[in-house]
A = this chain, B = another copy of it.
Amino acid sequence: MARLGLNLLTTEPSARDAEVTRTIAMGKGVRLERIISHGQASPDGFWYDQAEAEWVTLLSGRARIRIADQANEIAMVPGDTLLLPAHCRHRVAWADPDQPTIWLALFVDGDLKVP
């Protein structure tokens, strides 16, 4: 029987203290995550360096992403999408402290291409 799952825009009170990540769906070589932050940026000097390719969109809030070896930060608003190949080092430089920033991130083993 098909039933509605989690509403992705439902925030979690604990996200005020730390980023909250929740796995939304999983398949072979595929993982979908929802991440909520309230102004939390990545710790200074920390870079995500992932074995999987990641596609990410912003469902609410505002944020800026920094890519290693890339001069400008990437500002994201709801609906914006970003493809991060495996081992593309990146960090969250800023997330809006005044509202929940909700990410939907798809992680895939191997290559992910945007047509």
Contacts and interface: CB of A to CB of B under 8 A. Distances in A.
Contacts of A27: 29-30, 53, 108-113
A47 interface: no
Given A32-B106, A74-B2, A88-B2, A10 B79 contact: yes
A105 to B, nearest CB: 12
Oligomeric state, in number of copies?
2
Interface in A1-60: 1-10, 23-30, 32, 53, 55, 57, 59
14 contacts: A2-B67, A2-B84, A5-B83, A7-B80, A25-B113, A26-B112, A27-B29, A27-B113, A28-B108, A30-B108, A32-B55, A57-B104, A59-B79, A106-B106
A76 B2 CA distance: 13
B88 A25 contact: no
Contacts of A83: 2, 5, 25
B108 A1 contact: no
B111 A28 contact: yes
A70 B30 contact: no
